[in-house]
Structure 1
Amino acid sequence: MTLRTKFLIFIISIALLSGGASIFFSKRGVHSILVGEVAKRGILKTTGLPGEIASAFEEEDEDLLLAFLQEAMERTEALYAVALDERGRVLAHTNVVEKGKVYQDRATQEALRSEQPGYRELQTAGQTVVDVSFPVWSVQTASTEEEFLLFGGKELKETTRLGTLRLGLSMAEMMETEKRITLQLAWILAVTGLIAFGISLVSMKKVLRRVRILVEGTEKIGRGEYGAMVQAFSNDELGVLARSFNQMSEGLDRAHTHLEKEVKLRTQELESVIYTISHDLKSPVVSMQGMASILMEDYAGQLDEKGKHYLQRVIENANYMEQMIMDLLTLSRVGAQKGSEPVEVRSVVERILDIHQERFAKKGIEIIIQPTFPRLLFDRAQITELFQNLITNAAKFMGDQPCPRIEIGGRESGEWVELYVKDNGIGIDPEYHDRIFGVFQRLKDVEVEGTGVGLSIVKKIVDLAHGTIWIESRKGEGTTFFIRFPKAEEA
């Protein structure tokens, strides 16, 4: 899953959660406000009614109470009205079947205890109503001149709770209002969410673009392009990271340049030593070969079979040493390129096959050359040396293959040229894949001619051309050597 996808999932999840939570809590808030408004409207429309109905409560006159209840219903458009005494007994109800019942539910008990008008949302007869309650008090006033003077006028002398008046106010209109407000709120949140989502997408694209630049920078470093820089757009965390990356890249470039110089110096010293040793050894080895050959030709009749055997071994070992010295000299000269030129790889391969035609025919090796070959800008001598070693190496390790075959081909793309040499020989165990390019490295369980330097020469040629070489092989399944060079433009 890409970082972009993760960001989108995160943003959408946050938007859905926050939008859903906003609608939920906003709806609850709107509902609470509207319930309060319905209750307040009912209380305002019945102002003074509890005082007017007090005498009816005192006398428990059902007809008079019903008249007041009916008036209250008309004022407030209530669904029901009920008069309760101080114990919760129904004195009068617009639904006459409720007369005489004693209500002991929680809403009734709270209404009986409250000394102020209150309201509560209830479910009754399948409808949601706002149940508004009013305490009803009896009022005794100053009735004599002495009481009037004592209380300073016609003020309360004593109050007694007579009961409670309850009205069930319809919420139908309020519910419609709530639906409209909720729908409008949902539209507002949706539009706001889309705008926020669009802004988030734009911001995310900017952030991801900067992250992508950093990723491309790390890929360049991974390809060995030390010193690659990325642009630091701002002073935020990504800007700090970009500047840190540039500092790291500069440090790697300096370290790599220093190491390359050190390696080049040590390689030159090593090549010089190899060249000197090989050159100095060549003369005595050639002399040894010559004298041993003369002994074998002129004095063979004076030697017994054991002497001939020893002399033959001297000649064979001298030949082996000469070949090794020549290979080491070739290895030491690989770095001294004469210059690149356009090379038709197919013609180079055909020339090598002509030289070894009799050898391959003797072993019954079938040679397959792909019809199309890439054109390469390279040192002709070194590309010849490369294919010479790969092709002869394939021929050496055929084993007992009844139908030996070597296939040679290549292809090119916009940035690189790929070549390969494939055989169906004995194959190479994966544990040896990285070791076979070392000097004098040979497969331990295989006895074939050679000095173990050929693949080292190939590897050095490829490395100096900034190419890559790898193999695909398993024991008993043949081997394919792949070589990839960066494509160079012809001058």
Structure 2
Amino acid sequence: MKLQTKLLIFLISTTLLVAGLIVFLSHRSVHTILLEEAAKRGLLKTKGLPAETVSGFQTESEKIILPMLQASLEQTGAVYAMALDPNGRVLAHTNVIEAGKIYTDPVTRNAIRSDQPGYRELEANDQTVVDVSLPVWSIRQATTEEEFLLFGGKELKETTRLGTLRLGLPIRDTLQIEKRITVQIVWILVVTGSIALGASLFFMRKVLLRVQLLIEGTGRISRGEYGALVPALSKDELGVLAHSFNQMSEDLAMAHEHLENEVKIRTQELESVVYTISHDLKSPIVSMQGMASILMEEYSGQLDEKGKHYLLRVISNANYMEEMIIDLLALSRIGRAHNAPEPADVRTIIEKVLDLHRERFEKQGIEIVVDPALPHFTFDRTQLTELFQNLITNAAKFMADQSHPRIEIGGRETGEWVQFYVKDNGIGIDPEYHEKIFKVFQRLKEVEVEGTGVGLSIVKKIVDLAHGKVWVESQKGEGATFFVRFPKQEV
């Protein structure tokens, strides 16, 4: 998952979480405040109840209390009104059938225990109400005159709890107001959240754009474009990172150039040494061959069979050394010679190679199949000829006793590459040797064949110099397919 997607998910989920929390807390706060205001309004409307009601509580007379409750019902618009004694027994109720009952529910217990007015939200008569409870006291002042008060004053001398007055005030309008406020809060959060989220996404895209430039820069370096630079668009941390990246890239380019020059110098020195040694060894080898041949022609009659055998071994080894020297010289020439690339008809080049070895292939009974649609491209024709000659002759060497030997040659363009292959149905190559066979003088041990083990090294060097790739796909006993791939921009 991309970083941009992760940040987007984080921002959206965080925004929704915060918005939900704000809506929840706001709803609770608004609900509490509106309930409190509704309860206060009910308390204010009942504050002026007639003092004669105290006698109703004292005598527990429903006839005295009920008119006061009915008046409170009309004055406050309450759903119900009731008077309770200190034990929760109903002294009077606007629903007269409730009179005489003892309430033990939690709301009643809290109301008769509290010395202060209170309120509680509950369901009554299929609607939501705020139940307001008011303690009723008998207060004796210094004048010994009793009054019915809902709230005590500083002049109180003696108080007696007579009971509790409870009113069920409807809050339908309050809930409607609460709903409208909540909807407004939600819309405000939607608008502000959308603006904040949009601003965050805009800022995030700007930051990620600069990160993407750094990613592209590292990708270019990984592809070998040492010295690739990225724009430093600001002086913040990302700008400092971009400057550091550019400095690193420039240092890497200089180090790479230095190493390339060192490798080039060492390679040239090594090729020069190989060329010099090979060239200098060729003359004594030729002399050795000549003298051994003269001995065999003019003095073979004076030698016994053992002497002839040794002399033949000298000639054979001298010939093998000459082949090795010729191959080493060919290998060293690849790095030293620089022929201009030119358009090459690959099929024509392959046909010339096949004509050169046709007698040998016919003797082995090898069927040669060449793809008629081989791609054309620009390359060094001499090196291309040498490449196919080594691959084709290598395939022919390892046919062993195959009853129907076959070599197939093909190629195609694939995207940014030009690819060729040489496929045979010979003895195959164990995967253990897939890398080793491209090294100088490395040969398969399973079968004795002619050659020095330099041919595939020549192929690899030609491909490496063109920044291409060569590899083999094979299993022992199942034939082998050699692939060579060249980048189009190089060829």
Q: Same-fold call, TM > 0.5? A: yes
Is the Cα–Cα contact under 8 Å of residues 50 and 134 in structure 1 kept in the other structure?
A: no
More displaced, 245-254 or 124-133? 124-133
Match of 2:42 in 1: 42
Is the Cα–Cα contact under 8 Å of residues 271 and 335 in structure 2 kept in the other structure?
A: no
More displaced, 12-21 or 59-68? 12-21
Distance 1:62 1:471, change over 3 A: same
Match of 2:173 in 1: 173
Q: Distance in 2 between matches of 1:119 and 1:24?
A: 22
More displaced, 450-459 or 276-285? 450-459
Is the Cα–Cα contact under 8 Å of residues 50 and 165 in structure 1 kept in the other structure?
A: no
Match of 2:356 in 1: 355
Distance 1:430 1:140, change over 3 A: same
Is the Cα–Cα contact under 8 Å of residues 467 and 490 in structure 2 kept in the other structure?
A: no
Task: Please tell me the residue identity of whatever aligns with 2:168.
Answer: G
Q: Distance in 2 between matches of 1:460 and 1:323?
A: 19
Q: Distance in 1 between matches of 2:118 and 2:253?
A: 81
Task: Please tell me the residue identity of whatever aligns with 1:458.
Answer: V
1:325 is displaced (CA, Å) by 0.3
Is the Cα–Cα contact under 8 Å of residues 51 and 136 in structure 1 kept in the other structure?
A: no
1:165 is displaced (CA, Å) by 0.8
1:112 aligns to 2:112 (yes or no): yes
Distance 1:478 1:246, change over 3 A: farther
Q: Distance in 2 between matches of 1:419 and 1:319?
A: 33
Distance 1:245 1:182, change over 3 A: same
1:304 is displaced (CA, Å) by 4.3
Distance 1:391 1:51, change over 3 A: farther
1:432 aligns to 2:413 (yes or no): no
1:386 aligns to 2:387 (yes or no): yes
Is the Cα–Cα contact under 8 Å of residues 420 and 480 in structure 1 kept in the other structure?
A: yes
Match of 2:243 in 1: 243
Per-residue CA distance 1:179-214 (angstroms, 9 max, x = gap): 333334334333444444433443343333333322
Distance 1:143 1:212, change over 3 A: closer
**Structure-to-structure mapping, 1:371-382, within 5 angstroms:** 371-382=372-383
Distance 1:4 1:92, change over 3 A: same
Task: Please tell me the residue identity of whatever aligns with 1:122.
Answer: L
Match of 2:150 in 1: none
TM-score by length of 1: 0.89
1:483 aligns to 2:490 (yes or no): no
Is the Cα–Cα contact under 8 Å of residues 421 and 481 in structure 2 kept in the other structure?
A: yes
Q: Distance in 1 between matches of 2:286 and 2:178?
A: 109
Match of 2:33 in 1: 33
1:338 aligns to 2:339 (yes or no): yes
Distance 1:370 1:236, change over 3 A: farther
Q: Distance in 1 between matches of 2:415 and 2:446?
A: 42
Other structure's SS at 2:121 match: strand
**Structure-to-structure mapping, 1:231-380, within 5 angstroms:** 231-336=231-336, 337-380=338-381
1:79 is displaced (CA, Å) by 1.8
1:87 is displaced (CA, Å) by 2.7
Match of 1:148 in 2: none
1:140 aligns to 2:147 (yes or no): no
More displaced, 327-336 or 423-432? 423-432
Q: Distance in 1 between matches of 2:473 and 2:10?
A: 43
Q: Distance in 1 between matches of 2:51 and 2:350?
A: 119
Distance 1:304 1:480, change over 3 A: same
1:367 is displaced (CA, Å) by 2.0
Q: Distance in 1 between matches of 2:119 and 2:164?
A: 12
Task: Please tell me the residue identity of whatever aligns with 1:65.
Answer: I
Match of 1:150 in 2: none
Unaligned runs of 5+ in 1: 146-153
Per-residue CA distance 1:400-426 (angstroms, 9 max, x = gap): 433332222333356433233233333
Other structure's SS at 2:53 match: helix
1:452 aligns to 2:453 (yes or no): yes
1:450 is displaced (CA, Å) by 1.6
Other structure's SS at 1:32 match: helix
Per-residue CA distance 1:340-375 (angstroms, 9 max, x = gap): 222222222221111111222222222222222333
Task: Please tell me the residue identity of whatever aligns with 2:436.
Answer: R
1:90 is displaced (CA, Å) by 1.6
Distance 1:320 1:265, change over 3 A: same
Task: Please tell me the residue identity of whatever aligns with 1:317.
Answer: N
Matched positions, count: 482
Per-residue CA distance 1:137-186 (angstroms, 9 max, x = gap): 223345489xxxxxxxx964433322111111223333333333333433
Is the Cα–Cα contact under 8 Å of residues 50 and 135 in structure 1 kept in the other structure?
A: no
1:220 aligns to 2:220 (yes or no): yes
Task: Please tell me the residue identity of whatever aligns with 1:3.
Answer: L
Q: Distance in 2 between matches of 1:190 and 1:428?
A: 69
Match of 1:103 in 2: 103
